[in-house]
């Protein structure tokens, strides 16, 4: 690509210009992209309505004054506000699906998407998943992806935040899933009645106090409620572990993402044989536990809620 500093005219020019400005501003990436070039390309494509797969074919297109201004406004807003680009575009992608997002929810980026698309095989028979739960649903992206992966299943999407559930309902409707996915206000399992599930999937708050204090500005734009999980990052996952056995059907599984709190979790429960799933990039911060293991270790998990 041409890297001269003349005023941008083409799609190519704008991608390069935005990339340079993002690098100079010291932006942090991690809400859909991990570098300035990809962020710039995403911004330009979204502003112009170009599918990312078709970007190369559009690079030499010259833009209208209105298009120049639209891109410039987005670039300047990204730099000035430090908002994740997903919020500025009201667009995020998860498990190959597009979602509406705003500052009421985290920007979807969970590692769970890869495992959902694989339907958690070989750890569960997809044919036996009739009722599933997305706990701490946020934008509803996991619930929608589960509904797509398990087309015969009914999905509950639970969250403690009314504001987040409003966004989840937008996405459930946009994907035509009102009949199969329910958005439910619930503090973890408390609002779910006596329902039991074949599969519980959760990306709960798991950021520990030290990491929370050092988050880049972009992450501080996200709802704190969806991130903060106490000194060790285990406050929410410990509650889930203590209660999940009573919410699973025989043979059911819990799948949870815990990010950087994996080490703290393993240190807290050294006798629990968590199955750690490895994604395509080698990350191992998603674990799986079956209903029987959860029941066997329930006293241990319950004790962690009331340490002496």
The pLDDT value given to residue 6: 78
Q: What percent of the chain has pLDDT over 90?
A: 96
Q: What is the pLDDT of residue 160?
A: 98
Tens digit of each residue's pLDDT (9 = 90 or more) over 65-116: 999 999 999 999 999 999 999 999 999 999 999 999 999 999 999 999 999 9
Among all chains, which residue has been given the structure tokens 């994604």?
279
Q: Is the dihedral of CA 42, 47, 50, 51 positive or negative?
A: positive
> Which pLDDT tens digit goes with each residue over 216-273?
999 999 999 999 999 999 999 999 999 999 999 999 999 999 999 999 999 999 999 9
Task: Given CATH 2.170.150.70, say whether it is the number of domain 95-305.
Answer: no
Please compute the mean of the pLDDT values over residues 158-165 and round it to a whole number.
Answer: 98
What percentage of residues in the chain have a pLDDT greater than 70?
98
pLDDT at 3 over 80: no
The pLDDT of residue 1: 43
Q: Nearest 5°: phi and psi at 5?
A: -105, 20
What tens digit of pLDDT does each residue of 201-212 get? 999 999 999 999
Structure token pair of residue 290: 């079956």
Question: Does 11-89 carry CATH code 2.60.40.350?
Answer: no
Query: Within a 10 A sphere around the Cβ of 143, how many other Cβ atoms?
Result: 30
Q: Where are the beta strands (DSSP E) in 107-257?
A: 131-135, 154-159, 181-185, 197-202, 248-257
Q: Rounded CA gap, 143 and 133, in Å? A: 7
Q: What is the pLDDT of residue 307?
A: 64
Q: Residue 146 — very low, low, confident or very high, per pLDDT cuts 50/70/90?
A: very high
Is pLDDT at 2 greater than 70 in this prediction? Answer: no
Domain ranges of the chain: 11-89, 95-305
Torsion of CA 263, 265, 270, 272, to 10 degrees: -130
Report pTM: 0.94
Alpha-carbon gap, residue 130 to 134, rounded angstroms: 13
Mean pLDDT of the chain: 95
Is 50 exceeded by the pLDDT of residue 178?
yes
pLDDT over threshold 90, residue 7:
no
- Residues 166-173 have a mean pLDDT of 98
């Amino acid at each position: 690509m041409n890297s001269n500093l003349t005023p941008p005219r083409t799609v190519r020019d704008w991608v390069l210009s935005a990339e340079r400005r993002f690098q100079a501003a010291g932006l942090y990436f991690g809400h859909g992209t991990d570098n300035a070039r990809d962020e710039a390309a995403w911004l330009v494509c979204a502003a112009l309505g170009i599918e990312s797969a078709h970007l190369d074919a559009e690079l030499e297109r010259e833009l209208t004054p209105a298009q120049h201004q639209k891109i410039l406004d987005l670039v300047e807003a990204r730099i000035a506000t430090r908002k994740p680009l997903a919020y500025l575009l009201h667009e995020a992608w998860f498990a190959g699906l597009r979602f509406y997002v705003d500052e009421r929810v985290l920007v979807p980026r969970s590692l769970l998407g890869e495992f959902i698309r694989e339907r958690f095989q070989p750890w569960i028979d997809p044919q036996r998943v009739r009722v599933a739960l997305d706990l701490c649903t946020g934008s509803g992206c996991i619930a929608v992806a589960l509904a797509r992966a398990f087309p015969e299943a009914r999905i509950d999407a639970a969250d403690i935040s009314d504001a987040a559930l409003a966004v989840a309902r937008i996405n459930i409707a946009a994907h035509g899933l009102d009949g199969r996915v329910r958005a439910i206000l619930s503090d973890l399992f408390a609002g779910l009645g006596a329902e039991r599930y074949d599969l519980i999937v959760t990306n709960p708050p798991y950021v520990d106090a030290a990491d929370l204090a050092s988050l880049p500005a972009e992450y501080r734009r996200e709802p704190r409620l969806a991130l903060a999980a106490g000194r060790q990052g285990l406050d929410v996952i410990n509650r889930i572990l203590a209660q999940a056995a009573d919410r699973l059907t025989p043979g059911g599984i819990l799948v949870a993402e815990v990010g950087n709190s994996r080490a703290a979790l393993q240190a807290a429960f050294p006798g629990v044989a968590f199955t750690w799933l490895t994604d395509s990039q080698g990350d191992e911060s998603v674990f799986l536990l079956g209903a029987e293991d959860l029941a066997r270790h329930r006293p241990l998990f319950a004790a962690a809620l009331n340490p002496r």
